Amino acid sequence: MKNVTGEIERTGKITAINGMIVRAREVSNFGMREMVYVSDKGLLGEIIRMESDEALIQVYEETSGVKVGEPVTGTGRALSIALGPGLLGAFLDGIGRPLSRLYENEGVFLARGTRTDNIDMNKSWRVTPKVAVGESVSEGKILLAIPETPLVEHRVMVPRGVEGTVEYIAPTGYAKTSDVIARIRTVSGKVAPVRMFQLWGVRTPRPYSKRLLPDEPLITGQRVIDGLFPISKGGVAAIPGGFGTGKTVTQHQLAKWSDAQIVVYVGCGERGNEMTQVLEEFPVLEDPRTKRPLMERTILIANTSNMPVAAREASIYTGITIAEFYRDMGYDVAMMADSTSRWAEALREISGRLEEIPAEEGFPAYLPTRLAEFYERAGKVVTLGDERGSISVIGAVSPPGGDFTEPVTRHTKRFIRAFWALDANLAHSRHFPAISWMDSYSEYGEEVRDWYETNIDINWGRLREEARRLLAEDDSIQQTIRLMGEDVLPDSQKLIAYTASLLKNAYLQQNSFTDDSFCTPEKGIAIMRMIMSFYLQAKRLVSGGCPLSIIRKMKELDELVHVREISAQNLDAFSDLAKRLEVQLETVGRERLATHHDYEEGGF
Amino acid sequence: MALAEFKGIDKIFGPFVMLPFIEGVGYDDVVEVFGSDGAPRRGRAVMISDKATLIQVFKGVEGLVPDNTKVRFEGRGLEISLSPSILGRAFNGLGEPIDGCGPVLGGMRRDINGSAINPVARVYPHDFICTGISVIDTLMTLIRGQKLPIFSGDGLPHNKLAIQIAAQSRLVGVENFAVVFAGIGIRHDDAATFVNSLSLSRSEGNLVLFQNLADDPVIERIATPRMALTVAEYLAFELEKHVLVIITDMTSYCEALRELSIAKGEIPSRKGYPAYLYSDLATLYERAGVVKGRSGSVTMLPILTMPNDDITHPIPDLTGFITEGQIVLSRALDAQGIYPPIDPLPSLSRLMKDGIGKGFTREDHPSLSSQLFAAYSRDQDVKALADVVGKDELSEVDKTYLNFGESFESTFINQGKDEDRDIGDSLDKGWDLLSMLPVTELTRIKSEDIEKYLKKK
């Protein structure tokens, strides 16, 4: 029997079914990791183990009703997706099927065995050639430009393994996704047709030319991240936290406000309503920099917790492959994976069905390897086409019981460089984002310091260090307060506790449901400078004998507590308040210390 | 309609019977097992291969004799009959009528496993449900289409609370309102309380009951919530009703799942529960929601008792990761005689932010609730401190927090078992409490809202 493309159709027979794992016979001419169709229902699966004539197949759809003796049909390729224009703004499931088209075709509930291309092959695009006939090109070189959305220019690249001279290139005008838009004569004399899209196996990382140091920050608009625990473009970060600590809200915030050019958001084994929320919000919300709808730069991938587990395992790879594709065009891509723990649990479930010997807590022994392989696909690179692009990966981790010593959190920590630990106590008192300033860290702080000091504020690094030191001192003072109360403390320590509370209330907290949702680095640093300058000035007064209680009565401090409500556009209001605060402190100082005028001027 | 019949089984263990390979049986298909008494026991095919077929029997395997057992395959999954006449009916855990009114007639049959809702088809829920309970409405607002579990402990009044919510919840259009109740492994008297109170407060015609009592077969419990949810989906998405599903006790469900998993010889994960507990629970909880093009909704209020009041136990932990928040009951508040003993700090409603404030409840609601949380949290810290150093050593500000905390618990959290408070009243009560604190402490509220709502003393 031959299939539509003329190949001999290879079929095997199902011999056993156990959940998402199906066993089949007569498959010795199938390939390892080959994508197959399972049973008369046409369920999508992938061969994950070969044993003489039997294969184990991981099925990406529910297997209920599948019978022994039904066929398994080979497709001749690995689990892959079509990379091409039309991905932006799309909403795909874990194996790349467009959920909006499934909804149009099948209604509210997801049906099984549907086959659709992940992008629309008949859509017509306006193309502009970027190379001329006769030019020699190699893999990754940009051939065509397409305005995929008003925000993003899609760049069609020379596909894998093709090198030679351009014999034909589509002229300026319109072409369909499935059209041949170029022909390249290779060194061996063959002519390779190039289409607007290319198929790519999601488990294979896309190649690049070389890696660069991630020394430019990814501006997230979140003060606690940008100011204390920054991440670079091309960096990797993890957000661990128990339930209700705000992982998803933080991920959404980063997807909305970070200054990446492309955002790939993977909802992996999480709530359906959360994806719906993104889907309803992103077409309406504006990117603060370009003033265009966020959806024009976003790709959503959702395999919610009630969708098949095997496809949940695949969703992370589908996401990172799309991220790499846009990186190769020369874009800064940010990928959010919410949550990597659900992905690790999918690995565990599949491993359990395969009866593999478990390592810790039932997780397979290869868990750290898989985590490393995934996170290492992030980075800032020079692409094969000589462009500069980056992928930043931010993975949420959901440790059972909020315990950070469990295997997924522990292994993840080995492969990431920024760790934003969410704290249940902060979340309970509704301090959001509940990123703990004591447990979090970022190794990118030093790498991005130059950038911040050149572009934002010359004192960025110093302020960051001072603020962190103050918060650390406050942490130990708080322990004393918990044991003995605040009254026993000397004023110098009370001042530290008070300044830390200013930092917590006016700087670290940020309400994601008001205008304060996005904070420019300029506004962030202005608030931090104001608080830290207050501290230095007040410290001199206190050490000169001025009681803290008098300083705390200053009405400017009430304004300082509410300072984050002021719009970032109104930077003058910040410098005005800073000035008044300084003058008022001086006045207080003069009144109290009429005879001690020897403290030095200075500050940030 | 039998598709195939088979006599003689190889093996009986746990709740399972093992048979040789049988042509035509699908994975997860329903199977009827007939012992020597001739009565059918329902089961399903949980593993099949060309050598053997493993059947899980819901009613248990007691009294089966290998040579003398017949098995009949129906060639379809576990189903339930649905028609508008299902309203007002009562069933056991396997969907068999227990009210003596015979089978549900004239309808369609639907697989109880359901299918996942396409996230594109969902409508993000934002319709506020006024439960009339201050602490819930103000601090952890229930939204139509939400799944909000009650995390409780043995002996706490979770059943009373669930009944009060069901009775007071003012969803628009009462005639469109239905309650589906699924009791899983519950005691006879608890079941009776639910039936009586729910029937009293709602006309019986809007209630569908599923009861698997504590002494009913454990394996049935796997099917009970799925039966209830299939009915709920039918009522919501086909008859366009607003359905409130109360499931109690999810802990019994999870224990049944564990028993089954261990009997099957699967590798256990935390505390012996199967590695797929999260995915399994998700297939239940995620059936709540609102979808495009249908005016109904499924709101879910599962109750679970936390073993040893431990919120990090796998059952509450995994539940919390799937549901849209949680209402946590506190033994300490209960001991003080406060009803409902809801501890606001670990409680949360994730959908609240989009269902409150201007245009939904009142503009001051979001910042008011944030401030109440912050203040109560501070009060708890001060209380801990006061236990060590004594009340007298506290600063003036800290003392005001102590007073705030006391009034908050006794007048705001505490309310009568059938006291129904309007949202406006609840919010005003909140402002009254905040007026006990110095204005400088109100850092979560915009200056203009303080001007507008705070009553000066």
Strand stretches in A281-347, DSSP E = 298-303, 332-338
* Cα A342 → chain centroid: 15
Residue type, B95: G
The span from the first CA to the last CA of chain A, in angstroms, equals 78
Which chain A residues contact residue B353 at CB under 8 A?
Answer: 513
Token duo for residue B347:
């409680």
For residue B112, list chain A residues with Cβ-Cβ distance below 8 A: none
Task: Verify whether the Cβ–Cβ distance A244 to B294 is below 8 Å.
Answer: no
Distance from the Cα of B89 to chain A's closest Cα (Å) equals 27
Best mutation target, B44, B49, B53, B120, to test chain A (most A CBs within 10 A): B120
Please choose, from the candidates B178, B183, B177, the residue with its C-alpha nearest in 3D space to the C-alpha of residue B195. Answer: B183
How many angstroms away from the CA of B100 is the closest CA of chain A? 33
**pLDDT bracket for residue A1 (50, 70, 90):** very low
Chain A positions touching B50 (Cβ under 8 A) are: 15-16, 68-69
Helix axes A407-415, A367-375, angle to 10 degrees: 40
Q: What ipTM, to 2 d.p.? A: 0.88
3-state secondary structure of A211: strand
Q: Say if residues B34 and B72 touch (Cβ distance below 8 Å).
A: yes
Q: Residue A598 pLDDT > 60, yes or no?
A: no
Task: Check residue B265 and give its pLDDT.
Answer: 85
Nearest to A38 by CA among B53, B26, B280: B26
Q: Residue B116 and residue A304: Cβ atoms within 8 Å?
A: yes
User: Are the C-beta atoms of B162 and B303 separated by less than 8 Å?
Assistant: yes
Cβ of B27 within 8 Å of Cβ of A67? The answer is yes
Alpha-carbon torsion, ordered B178, B182, B183, B189, to 10 deg: 20
> From the list B125, B381, B393, which residue is nearest A273 (CB)?
B125
pLDDT for res A4: 46
Residues of chain B contacting A110 with CB distance shorter than 8 Å:
115-118
CA–CA gap between residue A296 and residue A487 (Å, rounded): 55
One-letter amino acid at A178 equals: S
| Residues in chain B within 8 Å Cβ distance of A39 | none
B398 with A358: Cβ contact below 8 A: no
Does B322 contact A271 at a Cβ distance shorter than 8 Å?
yes
Determine whether the interchain pair A17/B346 forms a contact, defined as Cβ–Cβ distance below 8 Å. no
Closest residue of chain A to B353, computed from CA coordinates: A513
CA-nearest of A528, A554, A529 to A541 is: A554
Contact call for residues A493 and A541 (beta carbons, < 8 A): no
Whether residue B113 and residue A302 make contact (CB cut-off 8 A), yes or no, is no
Residue B317 one-letter amino acid? D
Tell me the pLDDT band of A562, cut-offs 50, 70 and 90: confident
Q: CA separation (Å) from B410 to B161, B391, B398, B420? A: 17, 19, 19, 16
Alpha helices in B35-157 (DSSP H): 134-139
Query: From residue A280, how far is each of A451, A526, B124, B143, B268 by CA, in Å?
Result: 35, 34, 8, 17, 39
**B305 Cβ neighbours under 8 A, 6+ residues apart:** B152, B153, B154, B158, B249, B251
- Dig out the tokens for A452 from the structure: 């911040």
Q: Percentage of chain A surpassing pLDDT 90?
A: 75
Tell me the three state secondary structure of residue A416.
coil
State which H helix or E strand residue B152 sits in: strand B150-152
For β-strands B142-143 and B40-49, DSSP reports them as unpaired
Nearest CB partner across the interface for A304, out of B115, B119, B348 = B119
Q: The tokens of B213 are what?
A: 């009592």
With an 8 Å Cβ cutoff, are A430 and B123 in contact? no
Query: CA-CA distance, B252 to B191, in Å (whole number)?
Result: 14
Chain A positions touching B291 (Cβ under 8 A) are 108
pLDDT digit string (tens) for A480-506?
988 888 888 999 999 999 999 999 999
Contacts of B24 in chain A (CB under 8 A): 67
A505, two tokens: 């209330």
- B389 → chain A, closest CA residue: A484
Q: Which two tokens stand for residue A497?
A: 């506790």
Of B192, B160, B129, B190, nearest in space to B419 by CA: B160
Shortest alpha-carbon distance between residue B200 and chain A (Å): 34
Whether the link from the prior residue into A474 is cis, omega within 30° of 0, is no
Backbone phi and psi for residue B388, each to the nearest 5 degrees, phi listed first: -90, -50
**CB-CB contact of A227 with A525 (8 Å):** yes
Interface test with B, best of A271, A303, A367, A491 (most B CBs within 10 A): A271
Task: Give the mean model confidence (pLDDT) for residues A207-232.
Answer: 96
My answer on whether omega of the bond before A339 falls inside 30° of 0, hence cis, is: yes
Q: For residues B302 and B285, is the Cβ–Cβ distance under 8 A?
A: yes
Contact A485 B318 (CB under 8 A): no
CB contact under 8 A, B117 and A109: yes
Summarize pLDDT for A267-323 with one digit per residue, the tens.
999 899 999 998 898 888 888 888 999 999 999 999 999 999 999 999 999 999 999
List, as one string, the DSSP characters of B25-46: PBTT-EEEEE-TT--EEEEEEE
Predicted confidence at residue B60, as pLDDT, reads 83
Average pLDDT on A473-482 reads 92
pLDDT at site B23: 85
From the list B116, B345, B374, which residue is nearest A307 (CB)? B116
Taking residues A17-23, report their average pLDDT. Answer: 92
Strands A236-240 and A418-419: parallel
Would the pLDDT of A604 be above 80? no
- Check CB contact under 8 Å for B119 and A279: yes
Number of C-beta neighbours around residue A17 at 10 A: 29
Phi, psi (degrees; rounded to nearest 5) at A576: -60, -50
Separation between Cα atoms, residue B175 and residue A155, nearest integer Å: 57
Interface with A, mutate which of B50, B321, B364 (most A CBs under 10 A)? B321
Could you give the CA distance from residue B328 to residue B151 in angstroms, rounded to a whole number? 5
> Per this entry, what is the length of chain B?
457
Contact A102 B322 (CB under 8 A): no
Closest CA in chain B for residue A248: B350
DSSP class of A507: I
Three-state helix/strand/coil letters over A443-471:
CCHHHHHHHHHHHCCCCHHHHHHHHHHHH
Amino acid identity, position A186? T
Residue A481 and residue A496: Cα distance in Å, rounded?
A: 12
CB contact under 8 A, B113 and A64: yes
Strands B40-49 and B52-57: antiparallel
Residue B271: its chain A contacts at CB < 8 A?
A: none
pLDDT values of chain B reduced to their tens digit, one per residue, 457 residues: 455 677 778 888 888 999 888 888 899 999 888 888 888 888 999 999 999 999 999 888 888 888 888 888 878 889 999 999 999 899 999 999 998 888 988 779 999 998 999 999 999 998 888 899 999 999 999 999 999 999 999 999 999 998 888 888 765 445 688 889 999 999 999 888 888 887 766 556 788 999 999 998 888 899 999 999 999 999 999 999 999 999 999 999 999 999 999 988 888 888 899 988 999 999 999 999 999 999 899 999 999 999 999 999 999 999 999 999 999 999 999 999 999 999 999 999 999 988 899 888 999 999 999 999 999 999 999 998 888 888 888 888 999 999 999 999 999 999 998 899 999 999 999 999 999 999 888 888 888 888 899 875 4
Indicate yes or no: CB of B354 within 8 angstroms of CB of A277. yes
Q: Report the alpha-carbon distance of residue A247 to residue A253 in Å, rounded.
A: 10
> Which of B279, B311, B353 lies at the smallest CB-CB distance from A513?
B353
Predicted pLDDT of residue B2: 53
Peptide bond into A433 cis (omega under 30): yes
Angle of the A340-353 helix axis to the B277-285 helix axis, nearest 10 = 120
Nearest residue of chain B to residue A552 (CA atoms):
B440
Cα–Cα distance between B234 and B320 in angstroms, integer? Answer: 26
**A108: which chain B residues are within 8 Å (Cβ-Cβ)?**
117-118, 121, 237, 291-294
Q: What's residue B3's pLDDT?
A: 58
Q: A179-185: long-range contacts at Cβ-Cβ below 8 A with a sequence spacing of 24 or more?
A: A181/A127, A181/A143, A181/A144, A181/A156, A182/A131, A182/A143, A182/A144, A182/A156, A184/A137, A184/A158
Picking from B413, B393, B289, B446, the residue whose alpha carbon sits closest to that of residue B339 is B413
Interface touch B388/A562, C-beta < 8 Å: no
